[in-house]
């Protein structure tokens, strides 16, 4: 009993595209790497900085920083699968739901970055925070467009 691997035909399964084949994934991955560097930079701030603001910012950024790239990849591969399922009359909204979660995370990150940018003691990190907040919002727009969510 069990599954006979010799009976599984090549067309029974489909290999997923590599994450790097998706431009949106590449942008999300690069953004994630920049967030990671920012978190490292935020660990060494002036004494006058608001410790609570920075620790809460690190907590939010760290949570979403590692979540965004794999979720975007999941969304993109699920979207392709769902398009095939729609041809068979099966309607699933898994990719759209997951994309919504990514958007919520990106908006939370943008808000934290904006709050950090307003905090004067952060000095040179302020520009980086603003730049990353803008990139986060641009990714929101791109994901919204890619999945036709109509949120923006």
How many Å apart are CA 39 and CA 56, to the nearest integer? 11
C-alpha 66 chain-centroid distance: 8
In a domain, 20, yes or no: no
**Any idea which of 17-21, 33-37, 102-106 has the lowest mean pLDDT?**
17-21
pTM metric for this prediction: 0.84
Q: Which of 52, 33, 68 is nearest to 112 (CA)?
A: 52
For residue range 73-109, what is the model confidence (pLDDT) as tens digits? 999 988 877 777 777 777 777 888 889 999 999 999 9
12 domain residue, yes or no: no
Count of residues for the chain? 152
* 17 located within any domain: no
Calculate mean pLDDT across residues 44-63.
92
92: in domain: yes
16 within some domain: no
Range of the domain at 131: 25-146
- Is the pLDDT confidence value at 7 over 70? no
Q: Say how many domains are in the chain.
A: 1
């Amino acid at each position: 009993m069990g599954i006979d691997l010799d009976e599984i035909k090549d067309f029974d399964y489909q290999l997923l595209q590599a994450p790097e084949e998706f431009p949106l994934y590449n942008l999300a991955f690069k953004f994630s790497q920049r967030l990671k560097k920012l978190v490292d930079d935020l660990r060494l701030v002036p004494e006058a900085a608001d410790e609570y603001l920075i620790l809460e910012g690190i907590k939010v950024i760290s949570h979403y920083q590692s979540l965004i790239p794999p979720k975007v990849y999941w969304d993109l591969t699920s979207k392709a699968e769902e398009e095939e399922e729609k041809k068979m009359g099966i309607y699933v909204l898994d990719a759209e739901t997951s994309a919504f979660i990514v958007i919520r995370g990106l908006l939370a990150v943008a808000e934290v970055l904006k709050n950090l940018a307003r905090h004067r003691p952060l000095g040179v990190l302020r520009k980086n925070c603003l730049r990353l907040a803008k990139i986060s919002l641009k990714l929101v727009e791109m994901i919204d467009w890619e999945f036709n969510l109509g949120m923006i």
